[in-house]
Amino acid sequence: MPDLIMKPKGTNDVLPGESYRWHYIESILRKTAEDFGYREIRFPAFEYTELFVRGVGDTTDVVQKEMFTFTDRGGRSITLRPEGTASVVRSFLENSLYGAGLPVKCYYIVPNFRGEQPQAGRYREFHQFGVEYLGSPCPSADAEVIGIYTVILERLGIKNIRLNINSIGCPKCRPNYHAALKSYFDSRKSELCGTCLGRMEKNPMRILDCKSPVCKKIAADSPVVLDFLCDECREHFENTKAMLDAMDIKYSIDPQIVRGLDYYTKTVFEFVSSDLGAQSTVCGGGRYDGLVETLGGQPTPGLGFASGLERLMMIMDAQGIIIPEPGRCSIFIAALGEKADMPVQKLVHDLRRMGVQAERDTAGRGLKAQMKYADRLGASYSMVIGDNELGEGKAKIKDMSTGGQFECLLTAEDIKKAIM
């Protein structure tokens, strides 16, 4: 007998008994996004590698260490999607979504792929909900996008989440900050990891995002980006904070937030939880005003966020939030004898067509075993149909929770009316 084939490292199965949890969370994510005027976008699970190298940035951990990249049969470099924003912007440009007018507001729920070392809350295949807002340079857009996630947390019943915000400036003011960082890290050069040494020239801000404990400790005393903002970026940040204050959204300023992707400008933010251990970020995002131009389009401001569904579930479990399990079976109809087999098959099929969760035995069980099966299914009601019931054209329906019984005609319409 051949060995069993197991799932790849860093991936998970969602089993039939667990999928309702995903449906519940996804329904709240979709409803909230749509309440804010966002519409779903879908895009490929893989793209040409250049999209992520140009869009995400070749100095990021994602591009340098984590992408699943391969050469297809045509010799083209293909990468499994590590994040959603670059794909949305590519689709925005390729399909001329700007032609219908700005802003374009969309959301997605997708699996992404990164070749990371698996640990709690971090997987090689993971699922993200994201929103993207393309076409507005205004602080009100920043506040709206942040506001979406605060409402999601409220609707899921999640508590004790901190919102941290920062501004990382723009191409006008960032060179001065880069120079200050380079000068600071140059004095600690011998202590930096090899990856960060390579980032010194290209993008010293990436050192602030390094996961090495040594580099983190060095970065803790580095120059603060807020001290280097130009007037435009400072005004944008102050107005964003004022908008959040007006919306009664609590936040803290964290000058160490730079986010892990190169396309961010101005506002960046993270929602963090103490219930996630080391992987404390449950949602991260910000503004990316230069990304559309980087990918070949006309200058178009944009912003968005992404949130891991696995991490949302981990927080909900840690906080004891119960996700309601839907009923699996409204009525179980048992066939007693061969004569009843066809009528039961028809009744169950007709009930299902009418939107009733009806079940029957298909394994040839005896009546006692069928009733045990009905219990295992969690049936709300049961009905036994044999020769007598067929002759009379009616049968008793049993309430499985109370044991009470009542008669009903053997038509799908009457059965539905009786139990619903």
Tokens of 114: 């990164």
Q: State the CATH number of the domain containing residue 269.
A: 3.30.930.10
Q: What is the DSSP letter of 169?
A: -
Shared-domain flag, residues 127 and 163 = yes
Whether 56 is covered by a domain: the verdict is: yes
Distances (CA, A) of 76 to 49, 113, 149, 250, 277: 9, 19, 38, 47, 40
pLDDT, the chain, mean: 94
Shared-domain flag, residues 162 and 276 = yes
Q: How many domains does the chain have?
A: 2
- The mean pLDDT value for 100-124 works out to 92
- Look up the domain containing 93 and give its range: 19-173+229-318
Shared-domain flag, residues 307 and 349 = no
Q: What is the pLDDT of residues 316-359, one digit of tens each?
A: 999 999 999 888 899 999 999 999 999 999 999 999 999 999 99
Secondary structure class of 75 (helix, strand, coil): coil
Q: State the CATH number of the domain containing residue 375.
A: 3.40.50.800
Whether 224 is covered by a domain: the verdict is: no
Q: What is the pLDDT of residues 352-399, one digit of tens each?
A: 999 999 999 999 999 999 999 999 999 999 999 999 999 999 999 999
Whether 58 is covered by a domain: the verdict is: yes
Rg (CA), the chain: 28
Q: Which helix (H) or strand (E) holds 243?
A: helix 231-246
Of 290, 318, 346, the last residue of a domain is 318
Secondary structure class of 416 (helix, strand, coil): helix
8 Å CB contact between 257 and 155: no
Shared-domain flag, residues 143 and 277 = yes
Distance CA 302, CA 186 (A): 33
Whether 208 is covered by a domain: the verdict is: no
Of 318, 344, 366, the last residue of a domain is 318
State yes or no: pLDDT of 266 exceeds 90: yes
**Residue scoring higher pLDDT (186 or 163):** 163
The pLDDT confidence band at residue 89, using thresholds 50, 70 and 90, is: very high
Lowest mean pLDDT among 89-98, 118-127, 139-148: 118-127
Q: Where are the beta strands (DSSP E) in 312-368?
A: 331-335, 358-359
- The mean pLDDT value for 140-167 works out to 97
pLDDT recorded at residue 110: 98
Of 269, 291, 318, the last residue of a domain is 318
pLDDT recorded at residue 59: 75
Lowest mean pLDDT among 142-156, 196-210, 241-255: 196-210
